[in-house]
Amino acid sequence: MRRSAWLGSLALLCAFSCAGPVRESAKTTFQTSRPWSPAIDNRADAVMVYGVGGNPSDTLSDSVESRIASWRERGYDTHFMTGIAWGGYQDYFTGGWDGEPHLDEGQVQMDGDTIWHGPMVPYIVPTENYLAYFKERHIKRVIDAGVDHIFLEEPEFWAHGGYSEAFRREWKAYYGEDWRPQDESPEATYLSSKLKYHLYYRALEEVCSYAKEYGRSLGRDIKCYVPTHSLLNYSMWQIVSPEASLASMDCIDGYIAQVWTGTSRVPDYFNGVRGERVFETAYLEYGCMASMTAPTGRRVWFLTDPIEDATRDWGDFRRNYQATFAAQLLYPQIDTYEIMPWPERIYGRPYPAGPGSDEKILIPQDFASMMQVMTNALQEMPASRNTLDGSGGISVLMGNSLMFQRFPVHDGYEDPQLSNFFGLALPLLKRGVPVGITHIENLGYPEALRDVKVLLMTYANMKPMDPSAHEHLADWVRDGGVLVYNGTDTDPFQGVREWWNTGEYAFDAPSDHLFALLGLEPGLPRGVYPCGKGRLCVLRYDPKDYVMTAGGDAMLLFTVESQYGALQWKNHFLLDRGPYKIAAALDESVSDEPYVLEGSFIDLFDPALPVLSRAVVRPGAQAFLYDLRKAPKAPAILAAASRAYDLSKTARTFSYTCKAPAETVNVTRILLRRKPLSVLVDGQQAGEWSWDEASSTLFLRFPNNPDDVKVEIRW
């Protein structure tokens, strides 16, 4: 070995072995394929270094070991993320691993074309051979590099896939019969989706079990996590993934809820109008993940992205970022966050300056400052027992089989834009009712229905995968719950070969099994049926009728209110979390009036950090406020576009150091005992600062630096 190479290896070894203590679970994190650089040093607790070879769209010369070391040297907890359904695995497909090409293991659609994520990056049918490669070439390598936290993202099988030779072989092994094309019948579609679901469940179980076992052989505790889109989004995008069933897998330690503008802007129907409803969809997507993990107690990070994969203008990015950011904060039990994916594209890629503009610019300074104020606030965001204002205790039942009926269409029965789900959620959510989500896979946990008074469900868009779910529902109803069953039970998937019509059961529809457990007849007509202390309400409409037709939700709203009691109809949501107030005003709601808050606030969505006595939130907008009445004792940093360290207070001074990405502007508002006599930044008089006498706060503005910037204030 040459001396220079030996010294480089020694430096990497020292970086791994001499790293400081790693937090058991970081509060904030982000993902990047790049080595550390001043432009993307966003000061989260942890970084997920992406891919042994980086992101497949990157051209990197840096090894994964050197990228990990570069972030550790800057004080970050270093974790590893890679895709399990796609990634830079060309050596496997071209024969570089075992001498055999494996392009036949890509997901293939009906016309015979492979489904590609990028050049030579197919979406994968996760065969046992592929998993052996994945464990050896990727998982073992990063564990050997000192990584103890592994994130395997996006276990995705496209619903329109399922025609490859590899998938046909897996069908034969799983079902013991010859493959059937999924377009042949509803049953073939359902069976194809169940197999796709099983394949990625198996893949995650095998890879994570291997990681933990290999770690134990080295005396280390390896943690495994799954960053995944919500069940709602995968169902809308026609993708199959294990989703909620991962909660039963012992080798999974937690999740990242991959929700952002790109997932939440998919149009849906409400009151007969098809359109984007980013805030409402994001709220429901985060609800999917919160519900999925709540009974298990496993860790979940909520993701937001200041931009998205599609090219939009900076104003569009900003508006929708605020909507998704506010939506995630409305779940007070969650206080861990992925603050951004791919900072290299956020800070380093130009996008249109405005709607229809041909001019492309890098992120505007005011947007970057606002974004950094928001992400730094997440470092301080407390979990809270406060609840979202409104009539609580109403939930919508959903399950993994939502993904099984999306493609292709059979017998002319369609569910446009997943309207059979949104038909149960949006009529209430749009009227200010904080609708929850309950996963059918979690019904065995007592916590799943503990706070639910009224549960809305349908089998028009999903089917129960296990009869035990009905036993839990029946017990809950008899104990006092109100179940509102919606549906005509005429969709073509009612008769697929499943447990309710095989073996000991001979029911025409899965709902009939549930009704039988409640002591009722099959095929019940519309009505209200007492069951023990509770009630079953049957509405013989598919929920899509509630939203695809103007005014179509009247019967649903009447039924829910008659069973719940008087509901609070309003056009806003409000939640307090420590000193933070999060508000959203709804359009298409019961009123077009803005929502007004009175008090003393810092507006955290405005990079000038103004102090307001009155915050006006217009329909379709959101607010993120710091309530000055709940501020700590002065002196204190209340909001900043940087992360502060080494705070020092005396009777006459307040000082600290701060770090943030290069080429960005720091804006800070600080609570002080009195107006300062001097404000020094790196020993020089600050050029931009102002004093607000009413709030006793200082506003400060100066260039950021990823190395220490020293701030000293005297009064």
Return the pLDDT at 247: 72
Question: In total, how many domains does the chain have?
Answer: 4
Q: Verify cis geometry, omega within 30 degrees of 0, for the bond prior to 635.
A: yes
* Residue 154 belongs to some domain of the structure: no
pLDDT tens by residue, 90-107: 999 999 999 999 999 999
- Whether residue 182 lies inside any domain: the answer is no
What pTM does this model have?
0.95
Residue 64 backbone dihedrals phi, psi, to 5 degrees: -65, -35
Q: What is the pLDDT of residues 162-196, one digit of tens each?
A: 999 999 999 999 999 999 999 999 999 999 999 99
Give Cβ neighbours of residue 658 (< 8 Å, ≥ 6 apart).
Answer: 640, 642, 643, 644, 645, 666, 668, 704, 708, 709, 711
User: Is there a contact between 208 and 80 (Cβ–Cβ < 8 Å)?
Assistant: no
Please check whether residues 454 and 551 belong to one and the same domain.
Answer: yes
Alpha-carbon span 464 to 487, nearest angstrom? 14
Is residue 67 in some structural domain?
A: no
Half-sphere exposure of 482 (CA within 13 A, CB side): 16
Residues 660, 634 contacting (CB under 8 angstroms)? no
Q: Tell me how far apart the alpha carbons of residues 655 and 653 are, in angstroms, rounded to a whole number.
A: 7
Split at pLDDT 50, 70, 90, the class of 60 is confident
Domain-located, residue 221: no
Tell me the CB-side half-sphere exposure of residue 701, using CA atoms within 13 A.
Answer: 14
User: Residue 18's pLDDT is what?
Assistant: 33
What confidence tens digit (pLDDT) does each residue in 690-700 have?
Answer: 999 999 999 99
How many other C-beta atoms can be found within 10 angstroms of the C-beta atom of residue 99?
6
User: What is the Cα gyration radius of the chain?
Assistant: 27
702 neighbors 666 (Cβ within 8 angstroms): yes
CATH code, 664: 2.60.40.1180
| pLDDT given at position 58 | 78
Predicted local confidence at residue 8, as pLDDT: 34
CATH number at residue 526: 3.40.50.880
Measured between alpha carbons, how far is 628 from 187 in angstroms, rounded to an integer?
59
Taking residue 149's Cβ as centre, other Cβ atoms within 10 Å add up to 25
Instruction: Locate 392 and state its tokens.
Output: 């609580």
Handedness of CA 505, 511, 512, 513 (dihedral sign): positive
CA 214 to chain centre: 29
- Decide if pLDDT at 111 tops 90: yes
Boundary of a domain, candidates 564, 599, 619: 564
- Could you tell me the CA-to-CA distances from 422 to 131, 274, 448, 547 in Å, in that order? 37, 12, 21, 7
Tell me: do 272 and 305 sit in the same domain. Answer: yes
Q: Are residues 539 and 426 in the same domain?
A: yes
* Domain co-membership, 441 together with 582: no
Count other Cβ atoms within 10 Å, centred on residue 293: 22
Position 619 scores a pLDDT of 98
**Closest C-alpha among 139, 5, 126, 1 to residue 66:** 5
Q: What is the largest CA-CA distance in the chain?
A: 83
The partner residues of 8 in beta bridges, in order of sequence, read none
Q: Which range marks the domain in which residue 338 is found?
A: 256-382
Cα angle: 650, vertex 651, 652; to 5 degrees: 90
Give yes or no: residues 350 and 408 share one domain.
Answer: no
Residues for the chain: how many in total?
Answer: 715
Do both 263 and 372 map to the same domain?
yes
Same domain, 430 and 530: yes
User: Given this model, what pLDDT does residue 54 score?
Assistant: 87
Which of 391, 392, 419 is CA-nearest to residue 552? Answer: 419
Domain termination residue (choose one: 630, 650, 673): 630
Q: What is the arithmetic mean of pLDDT over 391-413?
A: 96
Side-chain-facing half-sphere of 553: CA atoms under 13 Å: 25
pLDDT at 513 over 70: yes
* CA count, 13 A, side-chain hemisphere, 132: 5
Shared domain for 407 and 371, answered yes or no, is no
Q: Quick one: DSSP state of residue 674?
A: S
Give the domain-ending residue among 599, 630, 661. Answer: 630
pLDDT category of residue 55 using cuts at 50, 70 and 90: confident
For residues 618 and 424, give the distance between their C-alpha atoms in angstroms, rounded to a whole number: 25
**What whole-number percentage of the chain has pLDDT above 70?**
97
Please name the residue that has the structure tokens 């309003």.
Answer: 570
Using DSSP, state whether 485 is helix, strand or coil: strand
Distance of CA 246 to the CA centre of its chain: 15
pLDDT tier at 376, thresholds 50, 70, 90: very high
pLDDT digits (tens, 9 = 90+) for 281-307: 999 999 999 998 888 888 999 999 999
Identify the pLDDT of residue 4. 32
Query: What's the confidence (pLDDT) of residue 293?
Result: 86
For tokens 């900043």, name the residue. Answer: 640
Same domain, 479 and 580: no
Determine, yes or no, domain membership for 596. yes
| CA distances for 33 relative to 76, 264, 497, 684, angstroms | 15, 25, 45, 37
Report the mean per-residue pLDDT for the chain. 95
Q: Are residues 268 and 366 in the same domain?
A: yes
Residue 15 has pLDDT above 90, yes or no: no
**pLDDT band at 607, cuts 50/70/90?**
very high
List beta partners, residue 705: none
pLDDT value of residue 24: 56
218 in any annotated domain: no
pLDDT band at 59, cuts 50/70/90? confident
Does a structural domain hold residue 136? no
Same domain? 583 vs 652: no
pLDDT of residue 295: 85
In which band, very low, low, confident or very high, does the pLDDT at 229 lie, cut at 50, 70 and 90? Answer: very high
User: Is residue 169 situated within a structural domain?
Assistant: no
Query: 600 and 507 in one domain?
Result: no
Per-residue pLDDT for 346 more than 50? Answer: yes
- With 0-12 CB in 10 A as exposed, 13-18 as middle and 19+ as buried, what is 447? exposed
CA–CA gap between residue 165 and residue 593 (Å, rounded): 58
